[in-house]
Amino acid sequence: SQTIHQWPATLVQPVGSPLSLECTVEGTSNPNLYWYRQAAGRGLQLLFYSVGIGQISSEVPQNLSASRPQDRQFILSSKKLLLSDSGFYLCAWIGTGFDGYTFGSGTRLTVV
């Protein structure tokens, strides 16, 4: 079966500290992978997507970066966090078909 793992669930980080959020997918190969951010009470905004290893597309200018070192691994990073980076981060994937998108359980990031 296909599953998606995302961790950590919650994170409190000081301003200026680095960030690394990881997402891994099981049970599929060559998925499209996505990072979304959700501000409190708002919809989901697409940050990055990847169609293959090493292929990253950025949707909005920001303080974050993404990497895909392996087919089923997607990492969201920052060298120095800003207060505005606080939010709920969700990883998602879709396979080669069009049978729906699967989301991870999310990481709630608070920058203090």
Complex with another protein: residue 15 or 39, whichever CB lies closer: 39
Task: Give min distance, CB of 84 to another protein, in A.
Answer: 19
Sheet with 65-70, edge to edge strand ranges: 3-7, 19-26, 73-78, 65-70
AA identity, residue 59: E
Residue ranges that bind another protein, judged by CB under 8 A:
32, 34, 42-46, 49, 51, 57, 59, 88, 90, 92, 94, 98, 100-103, 105-106, 108
Question: How far is it, in rounded angstroms, from Cα 6 to Cα 60?
Answer: 22
Task: Give min distance, CB of 70 to another protein, in A.
Answer: 19
Question: How far is it, in rounded angstroms, from Cα 44 to Cα 26?
Answer: 23
Residues 66 and 35 sit within 8 Å (Cβ to Cβ): yes
Complex with another protein: residue 41 or 69, whichever CB lies closer: 41
Task: Give min distance, CB of 107 to another protein, in A.
Answer: 9
